[in-house]
Structure 1
Amino acid sequence: MDGVEVRPMHADDLPNAERASAAVFLDSDRRDRRVSDPEPEPRSTDVAERWIARMRYFLEVDPQGCWVAADGAQIVGFAIAQNRDRLWYLATYGVLPSMQGHGIGKRLLDAVLTHADGRQGMFSSSVHPGATRRYRLAGFSLHPQMRMIGTVDHTKLAAVTGLSEGSAEDFDWMNRLDRRLRGAGHGPDHRYLLTGHRLVVSRAEPGYVYLDDRGRPTLLAAAEQRTAQQLLWEALASARADTLVNCITTANEWAIDVGLAAGLHLGQEGYIAVRGMPTPAPYLASGQFL
């Protein structure tokens, strides 16, 4: 649309961009809702504030990867990408439903892909047909990903050993592990994740997992499958009420084995999109930090 400007994001765009994001993903959740799923609810104030804080962080670390589509004062689309070493990742991307089909999404994606400057890439994708078409045309391989949900059967929990609470002192070896698995360290993302998550590590056989405030695994990486399974068992033992294990690819079937043993249910959930790299394993990606 001629009146829509695609431009770099500014800090004062964040509240309007959050409102656009909330509308985009509520519509997506309603469109893709399974019959057995609860009715999607609007984003809470707390979740909105956390979204703004996370996007402000991205804007501070790598502002050239943060773009919006503006129709006057209204933000109608957004694309937030980041470069870390040799890896580019797309943290979030969307266009208001009423503005889709006019090329705005392509313009936003072109802007953030230009920022990639030839780096290998990875992100978590929805099943939106227009978006997945753009991703494939941009050279990304789309690997179906799965999720596991449900209440952990604590009588089935496996005993784990060799795990410790992690700290910033672990970041150096964690970044080396990241480079082995995904071609690039998480760099400053580790420090950001540590501010709001519990970090559990295995130092003897390298591996780590971040757990959110509900005990759910947010990002897991390990040198060996056995270590990855130990870390996931620890996450499931920490889960409160229903839990979620997300971003499971076929290269990470070890996670399915753990989840099924713990009484969780398996379902499909979008794609992991990669370009110039294999899907990492043993690895469970973060939706927004990959």
Structure 2
Amino acid sequence: MDSVQVRLMREADLPSAERASAVTFFESERSTRRVSDPEIEPRSADASQQWVDRMRFFLSIDPEGCWVAIDEVAGARRTVGFAIAQNRAGLWFLATYGVLPSHQGQGVGKRLLDAALAHAGGRPGIFSSSVHPGATRRYRAADFSLHPQMRMVGVVDRSTLPVIDGLREGRADDFAWMDQLDRDLRVAGHGPDHGYMLDTLRLVVCRDPARPGYVYLDDRGRASLLAASDPATARKLLWEALASSQGPTLVNCITAPNEWAIDVGLAARLDIGQEGYIAVRGMPVPAPYLASGHFL
């Protein structure tokens, strides 16, 4: 579209990019919702602010990976698409990407993804993908392997919770070994992302240096990112997350190499379903590992 400009994101673009993101993902989730799924709710004000804060962080760390599509018609300007990618040492990841439904199928998404992929500079890559057919065609054309992922939802049967020991609250002085574990599992460490997550999430770590692992928990006790050296440590960390959950919980980004997570969820009486893909290029699917949607 001649009226659409794809350019690097600026901080002033964040509010309009958030609105485009909220509309895009609401419509996508509503169109793919199964009858048995809960009703799709619009993004809350708190969640909108969290999105803006996270994207501002990415913009401050690696601005060359942050792109927007701006439509200018009759003097009016609005964000109609966005692609936020980041490089961390030898790894590229796509934190979020989307185009307003009104502008899909017109080449805007391809231009955004091409810009984000150019930023990779040949690095291996990873991201979490929806089932949108147009987007998945672009990912395959870019040589990404699409690995189906599952999610588990429900209220934990607390009678199933085992006694867990050997864990403690995480601290900033854990970041060095956490980054080494990240490198073992996903090519590169999270680097500055750990500092951001520690400020906004609860961190629990396994204190056994021979079997390290960590999990970040959100304000409802849900596992936001989990990494471990072995399945036994991963199971222990996920059980800690389920024990911390308040009301309905969610365990997502479960891939086939992470069957340990399925075993824990089923034992806790959660329901299992399928949800999109983990896309990887130039690297295996991380395990034992549960990716974060934004921080991968």
Give the TM-score of the pair, scaled to structure 2. Answer: 0.97
Match of 1:156 in 2: 160
CA distance in 1, matches of 2:143, 2:205: 35
Secondary structure class of the residue paired with 1:89 = strand
Please list the CA deviations of residues 246-285 of structure 1 after superposition, one character each: whole Å capped at 9, or x if unmatched.
0000000000000000010000000000000000000000
Q: Could you say which residue in structure 1 is the equivalent of 2:30?
A: 30
Does residue 186 (structure 1) correspond to residue 190 (structure 2)? The answer is yes
CA drift of 1:203 comes to 2.5
Does the alignment pair 1:285 with 2:262?
no
Counterpart code for 2:53: A
Q: In structure 2, what is the equivalent of residue 239 of structure 1?
A: 245
Note if 1:270 corresponds to 2:276: yes
Specify the alignment match of 1:104 in structure 2.
108
Instruction: Provide the C-alpha distance between the structure 2 equivalents of 1:198 and 1:19, rounded to a whole number of angstroms.
Output: 28
Give the Cα–Cα distance (whole angstroms) in 2 for the partners of residues 63 and 212 of structure 1. 26
| CA shift for structure 1 position 160 | 1.2
> Offset at 1:37?
1.4
**What is the distance in 1 between the residues matched to 2:235 and 2:99?**
37
User: Over residues 98-127 of structure 1, what are the superposed CA-to-partner deviations in whole Å (9 max), with x where a residue is unaligned?
Assistant: 100000000000000000000000000000
Give the match's secondary structure for 2:119. Answer: helix
**Deviation of the 1:144 alpha carbon:** 0.1
- Structure 1 range deviating more: 58-67 or 30-39: 30-39
1:159 Cα deviation after fit: 1.4
Equivalent of residue 172 in structure 1, options 155, 171, 176: 176
- Counterpart Cα distance in 2 of 1:253 and 1:103: 38
Tell me how far apart the structure 1 counterparts of residues 47 and 160 of structure 2 sit (CA, whole Å): 32
Distance 1:124 1:203 in 2: 29
| TM superposition shift of 1:163 | 0.5
CA distance in 1, matches of 2:40, 2:260: 30
Letter in 2 for 1:54: R
SS at match of 1:277: coil
Partner of 2:267: 261
| Aligned residue number for residue 135 of structure 2 | 131
Structure 2 portions without partners, runs of 5+: none
Name the structure 2 match of 1:39.
39
2:124 aligned with 1:120, yes or no? yes
Tell me the residue number matched to 1:52.
52
Deviations 1:136-161 (A, max 9, x none): 00000000000000000000011111
Displacement after TM superposition at 1:36 (Å): 1.0
Partner of 2:67: 67
CA distance, structure 2, for counterparts of residue 228 and residue 53 of structure 1? 29
1:213 corresponds to 2:208: no
The whole-number CA distance in structure 2 between the counterparts of 1:222 and 1:238 is: 19
Secondary structure in structure 2 of the residue aligned to 1:68 = strand
RMSD, matched Cα: 0.5
Give me the identity figure in percent. Answer: 70
1:273 aligned counterpart, secondary structure: strand
Shifted more, 34-43 versus 121-130: the winner is 34-43
